[in-house]
Structure 1
Amino acid sequence: MEAKVIRSEEQHQEYLLEIQNLIACNPQPGSNASEQLELLSVLVEAYENQKYPIEAPDPISAILFRMQEQGLKQADLVPYFGTRSRVSEVLARKRPLTVNMIRALSSGLGISTETLVGVEHAETSQVEKDDVDWGRFPIKEMVARGWLQKLTNKTVKTTEELVQSFIANVGMQFGSTAFRRTLGGDAYSPATQYALHAWLARVIQKARERKSVLGSFDNNMFSPTFLRELAQLSWFDHGPVLAVEFLEKHGIAVVIEPHLKGTLLDGAAMQDEDGTPIIGLTLRFDRLDNFWFTLLHEVAHLWKHVDLEETFLDNLDASSEDRREVEANRIAKEALIPRVAWKRSDAYLNPSNSAIDKLSRELKVHPAIIAGRLRKERENYTIFNDLIGHGQVRKHFNFSEIEV
């Protein structure tokens, strides 16, 4: 038989029959029959690969197959994903794989990066890029705040290009840093996502301007003692300023940037692309109790939850069931008013102005923090209104100069 490239199914079947006959003859290596068998096998394989291509498994199917193959449970994947909740969300196809996850899985489980990225990745990225409605960014408010002032001197033909330039200026072009972030926290909603991304870009931009004054950051510094030391700065008249200086001394950038209209945003915790931790505060409520709880809540996120892909945008008026938000609340409350001291205090058992003052002196924290705790726990926002520090935060940060 003269071997040729297979052009039809009839030829394919003919070659298969010939291969079967040659195998039955058990030809000696190097013989003409052996060479013929090898050549026909190559031709058949090429034809079948072209006509019946095997689709690459999607990333999640590949991970599940490897788990079954190696007898792994979801708990065994925590080192690759970071937390149990992320494992569950990724395997349920509710959360996309990040670059760090792909690297870890490829190295640890031996799954190719091509499979983990997925053959549809390029097409999906293009679709996502095309789906961005740049006109939905709050362009007028951004211009009014001076965010785009430096860019308006450049040759920009459309509003879309103006916004794209602003986003790209801080390394947040679509498909990169910002839009690949997983946004957690109760301030996020699809209706406000463009305003929130614009605000994030501005916060990162301002944080980078602060890097020259930041101290060295070491994640191991986080501890209950660290947070307690931060909380006790509230005891001083200029406590909010001292708190910012304290955090920046330890390598954490703190940015004050008012929220954009329509967003219910109190604070945010994130990392820049170089790993610099950033806290953003809106001072939406000019009250000491709100300032200190928000600040400690965001520090708790930096300690326990934030990484390059995970950003938290918090509306602390909302009641969250997210485990990470609950944990950040618990850590913040414990740092401000330790649980043991709280339950035994007169401020808790028989609240009054004098009892609040007494506990604040014992704990070396501002009375506003205790008054705010009582109002929150009792769901009564009419009590101790004179103690929560109305109008005592923004004045420390020249807020009127940046407020719209």
Structure 2
Amino acid sequence: MEPKVIRSDEQYQAYLAEIHALMERMPAPGTPDADALELLSVLVEAFENQRFPVEMPDPIDAITFRMEEQGLRQADLVPYFGTRSRVSEVLARKRPLTVQMIRALSVGLGISAETLVGANVIESETSKKDDVDWSRFPVKEMVARGWLRKFASKATGSTEELVKGFISSTGLQFGAAAFRRGISGDAYSPSTKHALYAWLARVIQRGRERKDQLGEFDPSMFSTSFLRELAQLSWSEHGPLLAVEFLERRGIAVVVESHLKGTLLDGAALKDNDGTPIIGLTLRFDRLDSFWFTLLHEVAHIWKHVDRDETFLDNLDTTPDDKRELEANRLAKEALIPRVSWKRSDAYLSPSPESIEKLSRELRIHPAIIAGRLRKESENYKIFNELVGYNEVRKHFNLTASAEV
């Protein structure tokens, strides 16, 4: 048999049979049979690589395989992911791997970065595949809000191009490459991710529009006193507007944008590509107590947790297990009502409109914040309805009740 490049399955099968026969003879190195065996093996391997390419392992399958191989539990992966909840979300495919996670896992577990990035990401980055279902974006609602107006002239008319232009204008990598901006926070869910990304893109867009009005951002300004000073602006009748001005003078853009239907979103904290901090507020609940806690929570994220690759999308009705969410909650609560003052106050020991008003004057914060704290801690949301500041926030930002879903 004169070896040739394999062109057919019949030739492939014949070469396999010849290789098997040669191997049974166990030829000595340097003999004609040994040379024939080597040449046939090369030809067969080349054919198999072309005809039966090996697929790149799935990133999550690769991680779970290494866990089984090394006897690791999910808790053992916390150093690579940051928190237990993040480990669970990634392994359940509810959260993409970030660049930081990929680097840590590659070094710590010895899994190649190429495997962790995944074949689907490589295909996306080389324009071989576009796996984003653009029809799942809430286009009708986006159009109704005027979000897509300036992109309409650039698109040829297809919904896909319209939404692509909107998303890409903000630098978001959506779909397979979304790991470049990780999403944290309890507002995220796979079923609402398209709406959340659309809202996030809009917030980034509007945040950029405000950059000319921002002061210089200096991260060293953050402290518990800074948060406390912000909280005490609630004492004013125009507190929400004063808070926005306070933050923007210090280089933090604040965007008020109602949430999209189906999303349980209260606020967001992120940094734009140039490092500009942006806080997004939905005012999902038009109440003063909700506004002030959400705002302080997001400022705490900017101070402690946000980098350029991560965004926090928060539903503050939930009970978090992420230590960063717990820390943001703690800092917000302490800034609004210091723990020492709270535990000794008549408002805590004997709640009443009078004791709430008294503590409000002492701390120079709005009574709604104290009433909201009592409702939250008692889990009784029927008490002090008249004190939490219903319909007292949106009016400052020219939003109407129809924006609430």
TM-score of the superposed pair, with normalisation by structure 2: 0.77
Shift in CA distance, 54/146, structure 1 to aligned 2, threshold 3 Å? closer
Matches within 5 A, 1:187-266: 187-188=187-188, 192-217=192-217, 222-266=222-266
Query: What corresponds to 1:29 in structure 2?
Result: none
Q: For residue 348 of structure 1, report the CA deviation from its aligned partner.
A: 0.7
Equivalence for 1:21: 27
Secondary structure of the equivalent of 2:242? Answer: helix
List per-residue Cα deviations over 1:33-60 (Å, max 9, x = no partner). Answer: 2898578446425524644876654434
CA separation in 1, counterparts of 2:202 and 2:301?
Answer: 20
In the aligned structure 1, how far is the partner of 2:229 from the partner of 2:223?
10
Q: Aligned equivalents of 2:67 and 2:32: distance in 1?
A: 41
Q: Judging changes above 3 Å, is the alpha-carbon distance between structure 1 residues 176 and 72 closer, same or farther for their aligned structure 2 residues? A: closer
1:61-100 maps to which residues of 2 (within 5 A)? 61-63=61-63, 77-91=77-91, 93-100=93-100
SS across alignment from 2:368: helix
Q: Which amino acid aligns with 1:299?
A: V
Q: How far did residue 241 of structure 1 move?
A: 2.4
Match of 1:27 in 2: none
Equivalents in 2 of 1:242, 1:99: separation in Å? 38
Query: Do structure 1's residue 323 and structure 2's residue 322 form an aligned pair?
Result: yes
Secondary structure of residue in 1 paired with 2:280? strand
**Equivalent position SS for 2:302:** helix
Partners of 2:67 and 2:218 in 1: how far apart?
A: 35
Q: How far off its partner does 1:104 sit?
A: 4.0
Q: Indicate the residue corresponding to 1:47 in structure 2.
A: 44
In 1: Cα distance, 2:319 partner to 2:259 partner: 20
Distance 2:64 2:153 in 1: 53
Q: Given that residues 180 and 309 in structure 1 are in contact (C-alpha distance below 8 angstroms), is that contact kept between their aligned partners in structure 2?
A: yes
Q: Structure 1 stretch 116-125 or stretch 389-398: which is displaced more?
A: 116-125
Map 1:297-316 onto structure 2 (within 5 A).
Answer: 297-308=297-308, 310-316=310-316
Relative to structure 1, the CA distance from residue 106 to residue 220 in structure 2 (aligned partners, 3 Å threshold; closer, same or farther) is: farther
Aligned 1:5-404 pairs, distance under 5 A? 7=12, 8-17=15-24, 20-23=26-29, 33=30, 40-41=37-38, 43-48=40-45, 50-51=47-48, 56-63=56-63, 77-91=77-91, 93-106=93-106, 110-121=110-121, 129=131, 131-134=133-136, 136-139=137-140, 141-154=141-154, 156-172=156-172, 174-175=174-175, 182-188=182-188, 192-217=192-217, 222-308=222-308, 310-316=310-316, 318-324=317-323, 325-399=325-399
Pair 234,80 (structure 1): closer, same or farther in 2 beyond 3 Å: same
Q: Which moved more, 1:61-70 or 1:260-269?
A: 61-70
Structure 2 unaligned blocks of 5 or more:
7-11
In structure 2, the residue corresponding to 1:351 is in which secondary structure? coil
Unaligned 5+ runs, structure 1: 24-32
Q: Residue deviations 1:109-135, cap 9 Å, x none?
A: 55432222233545689777353315x
Aligned to 1:26: none
Paired with 1:172 and 1:195, the residues of 2 have a C-alpha distance of 14
- Are the aligned partners of 2:182 and 2:310 in contact in 1 as well (CA < 8 Å)? yes
Identity between Structure 1 and Structure 2 (%): 65
SS in structure 2 of the partner of residue 150 of structure 1? helix
> Residue type of the partner of 2:41?
V
Judge conservation of contact 2:132–2:174 (CA < 8 Å) in 1: no
Assess if the C-alpha contact under 8 Å between 2:83 and 2:322 holds in 1: no
Amino acid corresponding to residue 319 of structure 1 in structure 2: T
Corresponding residue for 1:30?
none
Partner secondary structure for residue 147 of structure 1? coil
Taking the aligned partners of 1:214 and 1:73, their CA distance within structure 2 comes to 46
Instruction: Sort the Cα spacing of 1:84 and 1:284 in 2 relative to 1 into closer, same or farther, 3 A.
Output: closer
CA distance in 2, matches of 1:92, 1:142: 30
> Given residue 313 of structure 1, which amino acid in structure 2 is its aligned partner?
L
What is the one-letter code of the residue matched to 2:226?
F
Q: Which amino acid aligns with 2:199?
A: W
Q: CA RMSD in A?
A: 3.9
Q: CA deviation at 1:2?
A: 7.8
Paired residue secondary structure (1:265): coil
Deviates most, 74-83 or 166-175? 74-83
> Which stretch of structure 1 is more off in the superposition, 194-203 or 88-97?
88-97
> Using the alignment, how far apart are the partners of 2:177 and 2:246 within structure 1?
28
Change (3 A) 1:46 1:230: farther
Bigger shift: residues 181-190 or 266-275:
181-190
TM-score (norm 1): 0.78
Does the CA contact (< 8 Å) of 1:5 and 1:43 recur in 2? no
2:155/2:162 contact within 8 Å kept: no
Stretch moving more, 176-185 or 217-226: 176-185
> How many angstroms does 1:199 deviate by?
2.0
Q: Contact 2:204/2:272 (CA < 8 Å) preserved in 1?
A: yes
Q: CA deviation at 1:255?
A: 0.3
Q: Is the 8 A contact 1:171 1:177 kept in 2?
A: no
Judge conservation of contact 1:224–1:335 (CA < 8 Å) in 2: yes
Corresponding pairs, count = 390
Preserved CA contact (<8 Å) 1:59 1:115: yes
Q: 1:332 to 1:177 in 2, by over 3 A?
A: farther
Contact kept, 8 Å, 1:164 with 1:173, in 2: the verdict is no
User: In the superposition, relative to structure 1, how do residues 120 and 354 fare at CA in structure 2: closer, same or farther (>3 Å)?
Assistant: closer
* 1:144-166 CA distance string (max 9 Å, x none): 43323323444542344333332
CA distance in 2, matches of 1:5, 1:162: 49
Partner of 1:21: helix, strand, or coil?
coil
The CA distance in 2 between the partners of 1:383 and 1:55, in whole Å, is 60
Query: 1:254, CA displacement in angstroms?
Result: 1.0
